[in-house]
Amino acid sequence: MELLKKENRIPLESIILFFVLFFPGIYASGFPARPDTIETIPFSMMRELGRTVTYSIPSLALLWYLASDKMPLKKKCLFSLKRKPLLRRDFFVFGTGLAGLIFIGVSISILVSIVSQAYGLPLPPRVEAPGNILGWIVMIFACLGTGYLEESYFRYYLLTKLRKALPNTTVRVFFSTFLFAICHMYEGPWGVLNAALAGIFLSVLFIRYRSFHGITWAHAAYNMFVYTMGVFTS
**Cα–Cα separations (whole angstroms), residue 23 to 53, 59, 64, 71, 94:** 17, 11, 18, 26, 27
pTM of the model: 0.85
Tell me which of 7-11, 43-47, 64-68, 229-233 is least confident: 7-11
Domain positions in the chain: 89-234
Return all residues near 205 (Cβ < 8 A) that are at least 6 apart: 93, 96, 97, 100, 211, 214, 215, 218
Reply yes or no on whether the pLDDT at 30 is more than 80: no
How crowded is residue 157: how many other Cβ atoms within 10 Å of its Cβ? 20
Q: How far apart are CA 163 and CA 89, in angstroms?
A: 23
Q: Is the pLDDT of residue 230 over 80?
A: no
Q: State the Cα–Cα distance between residues 63 and 22, nearest whole angstrom.
A: 11
18 sits in which H/E element: helix 6-29
Q: What is the pLDDT of residues 201-211, one digit of tens each?
A: 999 999 999 99
pLDDT at 37 exceeding the cut of 70: no
User: Is pLDDT at 146 greater than 50 in this prediction?
Assistant: yes
In the predicted model, is pLDDT for residue 216 greater than 70? yes
